[in-house]
Amino acid sequence: MDQTSLFAPDSPSPAYICPFDQACSYLDAAAKELKLAQGVSEILSHPRKVVTVSIPVKRDNGEIQVLAGHRVQHSDILGPYKGGIRFHPAVTLREVSALAMLMTWKCALLGIPYGGAKGGIAINPKSYSISELERISRRYISELIKDIGPSVDIPAPDMGTSAREMAWMMDTYSVNMGHAVPGVVTGKPLSIGGSLGREMATGRGVMIIVREALADRGKSLSGTRIAIQGFGNVGGAAAELLHQAGAKIIAVSTGLGGVFAENGLDISELKAYARENNRKISGFPQAKLITNPELLTLPCDVLIPAALENQITQENVNQIQANLIVEAANGPVTLEANLSLEARGVTVLPDILSNAGGVVVSYLEWVQGLSYLFWDEERVNGEMESLMVQAYRKVMHQSQTRKISPRLAAYVLGVGRVAQALNDRGLYP
Ligand code: NAD
């Protein structure tokens, strides 16, 4: 039985940090700060529904492989479940459960009427042809057909998926319903009801948070030295927008390693180079090769981890030189590392705030679809910016008044809002 199957082991190495335990620890800390009743935090520490399905897929060579696909619905107290679908070899049920919980707090923090969910399949999409990926996406969504829907659970892209997969999933759902249902997913292509601004939204939100945090320190983006781990949907967009705003992006990386230039990389040229070289960035002229561990410990003003979780840990935390870390990925800084950074006076702006631009524009896409009225990009970006800036200000205000870290402040706001709604709705039966 291979690693992609239903009963694959969850704990690949002794250094394994369980993402769900970490997510529950953050919830516990917020519950303590909010003095929540035991029953409330007990309810919120459990996902409402966990679905694992088998996905039999015919490979192009005729072989049949059976993959495991997960969808975890953490909470729908504030509205339909919302969360991405990840295609990545490290996907496990625990990881998906942790990410579903994070989505609940993120939507609550941003004040959008959604609950939290996440989905994933443990595959390396690069090992599959486009037609195999289409068969996997379609079968996955058809297995989940009774669990999703525009007012039930609305998937979106995450690592390893994009507008292309969302289009296949929307089509599969629609064919099964007998009519077009664009609202079943967000992050769709524009041709089927996607929103302008969605592709760059998470990176744009990261840029807004970095800009606001620098402004609070009396600084601007101009000339600020930034290192970014990950050059995909989120890292690539953040790099481009920060570069356009005058920041010096001194390093970026992919899973294969990174490139570094003391005086800053030309991000438009690097993007063009990556497009021409099958997404590879190594060999980019006028840049030195560096490893991912080296990138994280570079001397810089701002560090943006925009790839995977558990990248800044007890192992490397003492070598981190940035004094502002903006979490563009979900869970890139471990709980212990976060405490060490706080003790050293390093500010960590948490994922549930910093990478919320994507779900905000997903929400705006859903609103536009439901009202059959589509907005120009300026309006989409403006609405998103306003929600991101408001959330940033609320988090910093809570952090200052309660004398707690921005991470705990963000959790206090997110968890507090859900707990209030739970209290108001009451417990059935
Ligand atoms: P992506 O697949 O588009 O890009 C991921 C990037 O990380 C790629 O450049 C890849 O090469 C790199 N990478 C992969 N393994 C790596 C490794 N071991 N070390 C360093 N780099 C590695 O994914 P994405 O959509 O940009 O998502 C990145 C992160 O942001 C994830 O944690 C995701 O959950 C989070 N996120 C994404 C969105 C979104 O809208 N796509 C929204 C919120 C949060």
pLDDT per residue as tens digits for the range 401-427: 999 999 999 999 999 999 999 999 999
Q: Choose, from 82, 106, 118, 271, the residue flagged as catalytic.
A: 118
Q: How confident is the model at residue 279 (pLDDT cuts 50, 70, 90)?
A: confident
Measured in Å, residue 275 CA sits from the centre of ligand 1 at 17
351 lines ligand 1 (CB under 6 A): no
**Separation of alpha carbons 28 and 24, rounded Å:** 6
414 lines ligand 1 (CB under 6 A): no
Q: How confident is the model at residue 8 (pLDDT cuts 50, 70, 90)?
A: low
Residue 99 CA: nearest ligand 1 atom is 34
What is the reported pLDDT for 208? 98
Q: pLDDT per residue over 339-360, tens digit each?
A: 999 999 999 999 999 999 999 9
Does 118 participate in catalysis according to the annotation?
yes
Give the pair of three-digit tokens for residue 237.
């967009």
Q: What is the mean pLDDT of the chain?
A: 95
Measured in Å, residue 58 CA sits from the centre of ligand 1 at 27
Omega cis (within 30) before 429:
yes
159 lines ligand 1 (CB under 6 A): yes
311 lines ligand 1 (CB under 6 A): no
355 lines ligand 1 (CB under 6 A): yes
Q: Which fold has domain 19-181?
A: Rossmann fold (3.40.50)
What is the architecture, at CATH level 2, of domain 201-354? 3-Layer(aba) Sandwich (3.40)
More confident residue, 240 or 309: 240
- Per-domain boundaries in the chain: 19-181, 201-354
Measured in Å, residue 228 CA sits from the centre of ligand 1 at 11
| Mean pLDDT computed over 309-326 | 97
Question: Do 157 and 176 touch, CB atoms closer than 8 A?
Answer: no
Tell me which residue has its CA closest to atom 30 in ligand 1. Answer: 329
Domain pair 19-181 / 201-354, same fold? yes
Q: Is the pLDDT of residue 169 over 90?
A: yes
